A and B are shown apart, each in its own frame.
Chain A
């Protein structure tokens, strides 16, 4: 497997953990850690899957997702949203903005692997 995943997250420890888990599973992991130019990073990397945190410096994850969906080349790219706020309305907002899946922190490593695999049809 040589699937490319782009992780957009600002907590260095979480970046490290998720990168570790996914690399060991055979993913090609790229990371990006701010909201301002997240869309450019997505366009440049052309990932098969995006993992997007909600609370990012510069721009909220919901706004970034809307921009991704507005780009004709990226409408179909699966996006997994991560949030630490775990409220119902966040889930609604994620769905409205066009998230493919939604997970609340903290998560189990196995669950993350399972979800990302299913999202790219593995």
Chain B
């Protein structure tokens, strides 16, 4: 007999192994390695979370009770995979092009980014999934108890509820660890996917092993097995067509609507083409899963004692035969099925709950001000983690309250039926442009109510929640309202009855309301985007228009949500594509839409839309949208949208041309001013020198003190002249590329020390400098004197121009794609946006402050950085003036890697 201890040990080892696999896969993915992580086989295996513990254990029980009917559960998804392949492809394409994070997000996105709809779908999903999670916990505790019962060394049965609690705790921990590592816009969890793919292999292997043992070990061969099946009560079973069709349709619908299936099929999808492989491989997997179900059921019924739970045949058959190893394998298989379902369901639901419930509430509570001031990213992560814990806890509570009794057994199909209510809104959204938000809400609402009344509440049994009187005579004595004979449809199977009425009424109400109500402009646009996704995928859907000044606000907001590094990369990438230098792109509709999708990966479509509209303003309804409302035909709407896009394109080109022209004019004026500036800068000290030397020459009776003073002035002014000439020559040499670099190696911290003390020899108001000296332990190999010259310039600029009452300069380091970035950010009022383009030009002094420089400092810095292969840029959207010195990988190496 297998000892309980061995089982617990194997189980813990298996869990540790899963953690290691998930961790390794995450690491490999983050380092850009492991293309096998993105293979179609992994994708197909991840789809197998469809096969939960309910199918692993329950299919045999199902077969033992009602024969071949269990096949319907596999038949539905197979039909969808093979026959509706193009529908899935459309769903995946929409999901990817719109950066969809969950099924609630998809439906809300399609119907005008409506958060009401998202909240509704989320609630429905939580209600429909919680019993299912409870079912998984039950299966693990039940199988564990089976083991315990067969182990004579175990003194007493372990408490089922504490087992369930430990399992729930472990699952929540795993999901939080690997499901919320980052708030990635594309929402992929390589570690989790890898772990569930592995579990898929384990559970298939376990079931096949038990099957092989039963057929060849117990029955003694294929023909003997067939004979045993013929002799079993399973052979007597006769099918009812309506239930067969009903169940197949139900499982097909559930396959597309289950939040966890949506998560692995659409959200975690790496490549649309993976569906091609999955279209044959996944049905193959299901076939293998169902291959030995009947033999196991038949032999279980015959060999096990009367009254044995058929749901546990997979486990009890090997146990009874003394095959402990096989039994443990079988337990691990069931364990895998249960855990993978809970993990993915918790991720999918937590995304929905945090994006559509917690975040909007938080935004509303903080009045939207937090969009630019708070750390949205941490709030979103925290919300997601809490949601995961909450959802698993909910499953556990449901398990406790239902007592793990038989009521749970029917829950699988009840859950399926509840979640299948998404189908009309989902399919209508993908294929029918006239489908609208009101219709979707009404259809979902009616379908949900019917499901609740006809299936969910009765599933607890007569008199449990609904009194027996309601079953017999209908609600409030209305005969046509009997929950299992709605509108007098008597004599039907209760499940088929409920599915038929809920889906029928759901679809009818959805279609009818969509036809009689009018969609909002945003819905029309999203409708076109979804229904014609294959034409639109790269096309420009409009909806936003903004102005350059807002780009900076958008950047500030984006940094809070997706992190500074990613936001800066996104913005500078967009700017580059538009042919602009720096970090601020034109807020074109294309860019705003890209940004919105990027943000929606973190906070959901509806929230992202609301955040951007807070900054860009109520630009959601453009002229084109109004045209669309005025005109009923889709063609004219699209035609006008193209015209609009063209006009906007022209306006944009014109704006860019004007900007270029403005810059040229500015530069020309500057060139013109250059001579006049040099003249001024040279003549001013010369004036003093000449005047005082004439005074010294022509005035006889000067006091010695006066004499000394005037000579000092002459001396200082000649030094000023020399410095100016040095700067000019320096710049000229740098500009002509004649400079010879004196390459040395030194520690960044020491260089900054040098620069700070050189820039500090001044009696101006003290500038506080904040540094992280540990970070600065980086060795640099370049012309160090030149680099220090750049640092001195930037630091003394902060000293001169930072206008804060208590000036503070923060020097911080970042690494990105190998480059080292040194940011100098002060707390003053910064440099106005319209001056950003000229600060690195010669003689450009910002504002009217008379500073002692000639305005050549930053121009020299720019040239120096270009010579040593780096860059200096102005970083907009920070707390004050911010300069970023970028050093390429070749220059900066970690301290320990540096030559001694």
Which residue of the partner chain A has the closest CB to B682?
Answer: A84
Q: B550 to nearest A CB, angstroms?
A: 32
Are A11 and B676 in contact, with the CB atoms below 8 A? no
Q: Which of chain B's residues has its CB closest to A59's CB?
A: B848
Decide if B695 is an interface residue (CB 8 Å cutoff).
yes
Q: Which of B665-701 contact A (CB under 8 A)?
A: 675-676, 679-680, 683-692, 694-695, 698-699
Query: Closest residue of chain A to B686, judged by CB?
Result: A106
Interface contact A55-B680, CB-CB below 8 Å = yes
Name the CB-closest residue of B to A109: B694
Q: Is there contact, CB below 8 Å, between B688 and A13?
A: yes
B698 with A106: CB separation less than 8 A: no
Which A-chain residue is minimally distant from B681 (CB atoms)?
A84
A13 touches B713 (CB 8 A): yes
- State in angstroms the CA–CA spacing of A94 and B568 once bound together: 49
- The number of residues on chain A lying at the interface, defined by a beta carbon within 8 Å of a beta carbon of chain B, is 25
A85 interface residue, CB < 8 Å from B?
Answer: yes
Chain B residues whose CB sits within 8 angstroms of the CB of A84 once the complex forms: 679-680, 683-684, 687
Chain A residues positioned under 8 Å from B683 (CB to CB) = 84-86, 104-106
Contact (A14, B849) CB under 8 Å given A85-B679, A85-B680: no
Of A15-23, A42-50, A73-81, A114-122, which stretch is located at the interface?
A: A15-23
Binding site secondary structure of chain B? helix
Known A85-B679, A109-B694; judge A17-B850 contact (CB<8 A).
Answer: no
Q: Min CB distance, A62 to chain B, in Å?
A: 14
Indicate if the CB atoms of A14 and B687 lie closer than 8 Å: yes
From B686, B698, B713, A105 is in contact (CB under 8 Å) with B686
User: Contact at A17–B680, with CB atoms within 8 Å?
Assistant: no
Bound-complex Cα distance A16 to B694 (A): 13
Contacts of A58 in B (CB 8 A): 848
A21 touches B684 (CB 8 A): no
Q: Check: A26 CB closer than 8 A to any chain B CB.
A: no
A13 neighbours in B (Cβ, 8 Å): 685, 688, 692, 713, 717
Q: List, in ascending order, chain A residues with CB within 8 A of B685's CB.
A: 13
Q: What number of B residues sit within 8 Å (CB to CB) of A?
A: 23
Q: How far is B689's CA from A11's CA once the two chains are assembled, in angstroms?
A: 12
Residue of A nearest to B676 (CB): A85
Q: Is the CB of B684 within 8 A of A105?
A: yes
Given known A13-B717, A84-B683, contact A21–B849 (CB-CB < 8 A): no
Q: Which residue of B lies closest to A34 (CB)?
A: B850
- Over the window 181-199 of chain B, the binary record of Cβ atoms lying under 8 Å from chain A Cβ atoms (1 yes, 0 no) is 0000000000000000000
Q: A10-B850, A17-B695 are in contact. Are A106 and B679 (CB under 8 A)?
A: no
Contact of A20 among B675, B684, B695, B848 (CB under 8 A): B695
In the assembled complex, the CB of B703 is this many whole angstroms from the nearest CB of chain A, namely 12
Partner of B691, one of A18, A24, A55, A104: A18
Specify the chain B residue showing the minimal Cβ separation from A89: B676
Q: Which residues of B are found within 8 Å of A110, using beta-carbon distances?
A: 694
A108 at the interface (CB under 8 A from B): yes
Nearest residue, chain B, Cβ from A105: B687
Bound complex: CA A43 to CA B294 (Å): 110
The contact string, 1 if C-beta is below 8 Å from chain A, for chain B 648-679, is 00000000000000000000000000011001
CB-CB under 8 A from B675, the residues of chain A are: 87
Nearest chain A CB to B846 CB, angstrom units: 13
Asked if B694 and A108 make an inter-chain contact with CB atoms under 8 angstroms apart, the answer reads yes
In the bound complex, CA of A90 to CA of B510 (Å):
78
> B698's closest neighbor in chain A, by CB?
A109
A84 to chain B, nearest CB (A): 4
Contacting residues, chain B, for A14 (C-beta < 8 A)? 684, 687-688, 691
Residues of A within 8 A of B688 (CB): 11, 13-14, 17
| Chain A residues in 8 Å Cβ range of B676 | 85, 87, 90
How many angstroms between the C-alpha atoms of A86 and B682 in the bound complex? 11
Residues of B with C-beta under 8 A to A109: 691, 694-695, 698
Alpha-carbon separation in the docked complex, A121 to B489 (Å) = 120
Closest to B720 in A: A13
Contact of A108 among B690, B692, B713, B848 (CB under 8 A): B690
**Contact A11–B691 (Cβ < 8 Å):** no
| Inter-subunit contact A21/B695 (CB<8 Å) | yes
Q: Which residues of A contact B679 (CB under 8 A)?
A: 84-87
Q: CA separation between A21 and B850, bound complex, in Å?
A: 26
A114 CA to B676 CA in the complex, in Å? Answer: 27
Chain B residues with CB under 8 A of A104 = 683
Q: What is the chain A residue whose CB lies nearest that of B680?
A: A84
Measured in the bound complex, the distance between the Cα atoms of B680 and A10 in whole Å is 13
Kindly state the separation between the CA atoms of A87 and B683 in the bound complex, as whole angstroms: 12
What distance in Å separates the Cβ of A91 from its nearest Cβ neighbour in chain B?
A: 13
Residues of B within 8 A of A11 (CB): 684, 687-688
Q: In the assembled complex, which residues on chain B have CB atoms less than 8 Å from the CB atom of A10?
A: 850
In the assembled complex, how far is the CB of residue A93 from the closest CB belonging to chain B, in whole angstroms? Answer: 12
How many angstroms from the CA of A17 to the CA of B699 in the assembled complex? 12
Within 8 A of A (CB), among B794-824: none
- Contact across chains for A17 and B684 when beta carbons are under 8 A apart: no
**B691 and A17 form a contact (CB under 8 A):** yes
Please, which residue of chain A has its CB at the minimum distance from the CB of B849? A57
Cβ of B684 and Cβ of A16 under 8 Å apart?
no
Chain B: minimal CB distance from A89 (Å):
9
A57–B675 alpha-carbon span in the complex (Å): 20
User: Cα distance A58–B694 when bound, in Å?
Assistant: 31
Smallest Cβ distance from A86 to chain B, in angstroms?
5
**Contact (Cβ within 8 A) A16 B850:** no
B692 to A57, Cβ gap below 8 A? no
| Residues of chain A lying within 8 A (CB to CB) of residue B717 | 13
Kindly report which residue of chain A lies nearest to residue B709, judged by CB atoms: A16
C-alpha gap A110/B691 in the complex (Å): 10
For B690, what are the chain A residues with a Cβ–Cβ distance below 8 Å?
Answer: 106-108
On whether the beta carbons of A106 and B689 are closer than 8 Å, the reply is yes
Chain B residue at minimal CB-CB distance from A20? B695
Shortest beta-carbon distance, A22 to chain B, in Å?
11
Please give the distance in Å from B701's CB to the nearest CB on chain A: 10
Per-residue CB contact flags for chain A residues 49-74 toward chain B (1 = under 8 Å, else 0) read 00000010110000000000000000
Q: Is the CB of B848 within 8 A of A106?
A: no
User: What distance in Å separates the Cβ of B104 from its nearest Cβ neighbour in chain A?
Assistant: 60
Residues of A within 8 A of B692 (CB): 13, 17
CB distance from B20 to the nearest CB of A (A): 68
> In whole angstroms, what is the CA distance A15 to B676 when docked?
22
- A57 lies within 8 A of B686 (CB): no
A37 nearest CB across to chain B (Å): 14
Q: In whole angstroms, what is the CA distance A105 to B683 when docked?
A: 6
Q: Chain B residues near A17: list those with CB within 8 A.
A: 687-688, 691-692, 695
Q: Closest Cβ of chain A: how far from B710's Cβ, in Å?
A: 8
Q: Which residues of the partner chain B approach A24 to less than 8 Å between Cβ atoms? A: 699
Report the bound CA distance from A79 to B263 in whole Å: 81
* A100 CB, nearest partner CB in chain B, Å: 20
Closest Cβ–Cβ distance, residue B857 to chain A (whole Å) = 19
CA distance A105 to B692 in the complex (A): 13
- Bound-state CA distance A17–B684 (Å) is 12
Are B850 and A57 interface neighbours, CB within 8 A? yes
Q: How far is the CB of A25 from chain B (nearest CB, A)?
A: 12
Return chain A residues, CB-CB under 8 Å to B689.
Answer: 106
CB distance from A7 to the nearest CB of B (A): 13
Q: Chain B contacts of A108 at CB under 8 A?
A: 690, 694
CA distance A58 to B717 in the complex (A): 24
In the complex, are the beta carbons of A107 and B713 less than 8 A apart? no
16 pairs from A and B in contact (CB 8 Å cutoff): A11-B687, A13-B688, A13-B717, A14-B688, A17-B692, A21-B691, A84-B684, A85-B680, A85-B683, A86-B683, A104-B683, A105-B686, A106-B687, A106-B690, A109-B694, A109-B695
User: Which 4 pairs, one residue from A and one from B, show the smallest C-beta to C-beta distance?
Assistant: A17-B691, A13-B688, A84-B683, A106-B687
Q: Which residues of A contact B (CB under 8 A)?
A: 10-11, 13-14, 16-18, 20-21, 24, 55, 57-58, 84-87, 90, 104-110
Please give 16 more A-B residue pairs, beta carbons under 8 A apart, in addition to A10-B850, A104-B683. A11-B684, A13-B713, A14-B691, A17-B687, A18-B691, A21-B691, A58-B848, A85-B676, A87-B675, A105-B683, A105-B687, A106-B683, A106-B687, A107-B690, A109-B698, A110-B694
Interface residues of B (CB under 8 A from A): 675-676, 679-680, 683-692, 694-695, 698-699, 713, 717, 848-850
